Amino acid sequence: MELAYYPGCTLYTKAKSFNTSLHKSFEALGVKLNELPHWYCCGTTFGLAHDNRMSLIAPLRILAKAQKEDGRVIVPCSICYNTLKRANYMLKQDTDALEILNEHLEESYDGNEAVVHPLEFFRDNKELIKKHLKKDLKGIKLGCYYGCLLLRPEQEIQFDDPESPTIFEDFVSLIGATPIDFPFKVECCGSYLVVNSPDAAIDASYKVLKNAQANGAEAIITACPLCHYNLDALQKKIKIAHSEFNEIPIFYFSQVLAIALGVKEENLGLEQNKISPVNLLKEYKLL
């Protein structure tokens, strides 16, 4: 099987581990990801000003291009996923926008390209994954962190229940590990506030991490490179503010999937994790 694939800017730079482990996981499942030709940044966070729709042009150009390749495109980054899906929704709802924006596009586009998250693909192809599991993840407790953008706004994203989603937990169970549900799994990590108001991001990330640990998580999995940065890189600063805090490794969901599918260690990208998961993985004989 082959699928069109849009990686987004960060999977090529600071989240190479996400990109590589995802590619290798799909490869182990016998699926080839075909990167879109000549893709560019989606513009990140969805523009909310109703009187200026310029920020929609980048996501719509990407989708118009993707449509030429395939009827659906795999998008792993939560921010890209949210922005592309909201752009689609906007075109469907607002005929004025459809007309105005199409004047700016090289090829006409009507909002029909399906934006698919890898977790949705895995949910719909459970047997395929089960057939290829190589390593036993039994016992390792993974906190399932959703953050904001895979869930909200509900009617535009329709990924899962925005207050008590389960797609991550189902995924963790499917690959044989123990999912940890915790109340802060749908709370914000601080997002882009880390740039201008780092204290707010440190506070928000600390609460998420503490809550996951209080519920028994030994590591946390996420689908967003910005959540990953805040939860992982900010731990150094969290420790300064809260001396009782114990470090906890943060994985992309694709890293643990790749481990379960027997992908070679050098393709897991573990060296990009700031809080090293190596000891934890050794403890469970996964390395």
Could you say which of 59, 118, 190, 249 contacts other proteins (CB under 8 A)?
Answer: 190
Closest CA to 70 of 1, 2, 115, 4: 4
155 within 8 A of 144, measured Cβ to Cβ: no
- Nearest distance from C-beta of residue 269 to other proteins, angstroms: 14
Q: Interface with other proteins includes 191 (CB under 8 A)?
A: yes
Q: Which is nearer to other proteins, 34 or 197 (CB)?
A: 197
- Nearest distance from C-beta of residue 222 to other proteins, angstroms: 12
Q: Which is nearer to other proteins, 27 or 156 (CB)?
A: 156
Q: Interface with other proteins includes 188 (CB under 8 A)?
A: yes
Q: Interface with other proteins includes 154 (CB under 8 A)?
A: yes
Closest CA to 275 of 214, 198, 205: 205
Q: Which is nearer to other proteins, 221 or 226 (CB)?
A: 226
CA 191/CA 201 separation, integer angstroms: 7
- Nearest distance from C-beta of residue 60 to other proteins, angstroms: 15
Instruction: Choose one: 99-107, 123-131, 145-153, 250-258; the region binding other proteins (CB under 8 A).
Output: 145-153
Q: Which is nearer to other proteins, 28 or 182 (CB)?
A: 182
Q: Interface with other proteins includes 153 (CB under 8 A)?
A: yes
Q: Which is nearer to other proteins, 132 or 239 (CB)?
A: 239
Instruction: Choose one: 116-124, 188-196, 214-222, 243-251; the region binding other proteins (CB under 8 A).
Output: 188-196
* Residue 99 buriedness (CB in 10 A; 0-12 / 13-18 / 19+): exposed
- Nearest distance from C-beta of residue 228 to other proteins, angstroms: 8
Neighbours of 169 (CB within 10 A): 16
* Structural Rg of the chain based on CA atoms: 19
205 within 8 A of 178, measured Cβ to Cβ: no
Could you say which of 196, 240, 264, 285 contacts other proteins (CB under 8 A)?
Answer: 196
Interaction mask 159-178, other proteins, x per CB under 8 A? ---xx---------------
CA 222/CA 282 separation, integer angstroms: 21
Interaction mask 221-260, other proteins, x per CB under 8 A? ----xx-xx---x---------------------------
Q: Which of residues 23-52 bind other proteins (CB under 8 A)?
A: 41, 43-45, 47-52
Q: Interface with other proteins includes 8 (CB under 8 A)?
A: yes
Residues that bind other proteins (CB under 8 A): 8-10, 13-15, 41, 43-45, 47-52, 55, 77, 79, 148, 152-154, 162-163, 186-188, 190-200, 203-204, 207, 225-226, 228-229, 233
